[in-house]
Amino acid sequence: RPQHKKECKKRAAELHDEILFKQPESTHMGDCPICFLPLSVDPRKSALNACCSKIICQGCAYADTIREMKMGSLQPKCLFCRHPTDKSIEEA
């Protein structure tokens, strides 16, 4: 009986640690519609597209910027709906 009690306490501590240090499956912001990873709670790490109202993570936005630079003179487009993006805030 004491051995069982000791093992139960050890397993309970392990479960507590797993719950405590587990990464959340999602945030209140939802998931990025491109890579399906949870969006950060920090608003500086994501961007809202005015054309389709989708929030895209900074990693996907960065990957698209690199793609556009490699392809040359592509017109910037929304990552989600592929609508041409506005060049300035006034155009939005």
Q: End-to-end alpha-carbon separation of the chain, Å?
A: 71
Distance, CA of 35 to CA of 55 (rounded, Å): 12
What is the longest distance spanned by two Cα atoms in the chain? Answer: 74
Task: Compare 13 and 52 and report the one with higher pLDDT.
Answer: 52
Cα–Cα separations (whole angstroms), residue 38 to 9, 14, 23, 24: 33, 25, 10, 8
> What pLDDT score was predicted for residue 91?
57
Six-digit token string for 30: 């939802």
Region 17-21: mean pLDDT is: 66
pTM for the full predicted model: 0.60
CA angle 80, 58, 60 (to 5 degrees): 45
Helix (H) or strand (E) holding 56: strand 55-57
